[in-house]
Amino acid sequence: MSLEELYGTMGVSPAVLAYGEAVLDSLRVRFAAIDQVAEYNQAKVLQAMQVNRVGASCFAATTGYGYDDVGRNTLEKVYADCFHTEAALVRPQITCGTHALAVALSANLRPGDELLSPVGRPYDTLEEVIGIRPSQCSLKEYGVSYRQVDLLADGTFDYDGIRAAIGPKTKLITIQRSKGYATRPTFSVEQIGKLIAFCKECKPDVLCMVDNCYGEFVETIEPSDVGADMIVGSLIKNPGGGLAPIGGYICGTTECVERCAYRLSAPGLGQEVGANLGIMPAFYQGFFLAPTVVSGALKGAIFAANLYERLGFPVVPNGTESRHDIIQAVELGSEAAMIAFCKGIQEAAPVDSFATPLPWDMPGYDDPVIMAAGAFVQGSSIELSADGPIRPPYAVYFQGGLTWYHAKLGILLSLQELCNANLVDLEKLHKITADLQAQFR
């Protein structure tokens, strides 16, 4: 059976496959550049593991208090070395990215302090953490005020507005690297570095924290290389490599990380407690595989951007822009199109491929959210997934894929479902295919 025949049994028509292959022909050089970044990052991770003498003893399970956990302590040194920080907190007790961010913020902000976002409104689930939307135990409830400076119309930083917003009470500046459920650009590490330098020029003692979710290993440097006091992320995203079943990390200065450890466990206990519960092999191996997994997800995002942009759908980033995270936003224009797209992604899943994703109310979100996520780890967005809130411009956010080939199949099936629902102009698809074949073959 040929690949075309095999894909046909999985629901991909010859027309959609031909279109996909024609788009791929235009991306070969770009994909080679992604492989070079992955090779660099792979060497960086490997070196950190070798320098810190990772051995078989690091994989032993601990329970109870977890005192003197060699594997846990060594892993945190590996993260700190790889991300070039003084210290790291990497724990299964951190349940998700939002939890990691909540720990970092609540540990380093005191009553009377002000939190500033110079990149506009934060990701939906952080609104209740901060208190933008009322919630028990929010920062606002504990006397921390909040201020934000919206981005300019072109998606760049409003430096005049930021300078005016930084005041005597401003203690911590939070910078969200990725777009979240917004159609603004994702920021490069270089852009983040310039923003951090500007903020510290305005107030030298201000802390700068970067929500690094979805951005790890997309570039050869991280925000911690350009002045961030803390970078924060989830292990069921990029750095877990698809193997970590839970967890989060906070890397940064010794003082900031120590405070985070006291907040995560208890004052006086800090990093000394927290058993690994036998999941150290997954944490280590996932981190080792992460650069390669991220490169596959990045290829999938670029493929999706080019596939849909050529058909007339607005995409963020566009098909030619430089990439700084693994998320691809596609504005589909209707709820029906979002459902069709997510149906195709779910059909490509190794787990629950038979399920049909539908919009539903999720904790932490104001709007119903549709989510395609047939993953080995529940909610793992380094695995093939797509989701988005049901609200204009009806954008779906595609990310992940443990291998490039899986990401490719998912994107082809998402387009196939749009074709099946008569939401894509087939004549236009055939014409673009012919034009690309003439240009690149």
Could you give the domains of the chain?
Answer: 3-41+288-440 (3.90.1150.60), 61-278 (3.40.640.10)
Residues 253-262 have a mean pLDDT of 98
Question: Left if phi > 0, otherwise alpha if psi is -120 to 50, otherwise beta: which for 53?
Answer: left
What per-residue confidence (pLDDT) applies to 342? 97
Cut 0.85: pTM above it: yes
Residues 184-189 have a mean pLDDT of 93
Q: What is the C-alpha separation between 70 and 134, in angstroms, rounded?
A: 41
| Residue 26: DSSP 8-state | T
Among residues 210, 184, 217, which one has the least CA distance to residue 195?
210
* Strands (DSSP E) found in 50-91: 87-91
Show Cβ contacts of residue 120 under 8 Å, excluding neighbours closer than 6 positions. Answer: 148, 149, 150, 151, 182, 184
Burial state string for 255-271 with b = 16 or more CB within 10 A and e = fewer than 16: ebbbbbbbbbbeeeebb
What per-residue confidence (pLDDT) applies to 301? 97
What per-residue confidence (pLDDT) applies to 62? 97
pLDDT digits over 319-339, tens only?
999 999 999 999 999 999 999
Give 76's pLDDT tier (boundaries 50, 70, 90): very high
Lowest pLDDT segment from 190-204, 277-291, 297-311, 363-377: 363-377
Average per-residue pLDDT for the chain: 96
Residues 49-67 have a mean pLDDT of 97
| Number of neighbours of residue 222 by Cβ within 10 angstroms | 26
pLDDT at 152 over 90: yes
Residues 355-366 have a mean pLDDT of 85
Give 441's pLDDT tier (boundaries 50, 70, 90): low
- Residue 424: Cβ-neighbour burial (10 angstroms; 0-12, 13-18, 19+): buried
CB 342 within 8 A of CB 313: no
What per-residue confidence (pLDDT) applies to 181? 76
Show Cβ contacts of residue 128 under 8 Å, excluding neighbours closer than 6 positions. Answer: 134, 135, 138, 364
Q: What is the C-alpha separation between 304 and 411, in angstroms, rounded?
A: 6
Give the three-class secondary structure for 181: coil
Q: What is the C-alpha separation between 417 and 124, in angstroms, rounded?
A: 28
Q: Identify residue 379 by its one-letter amino acid code.
A: G
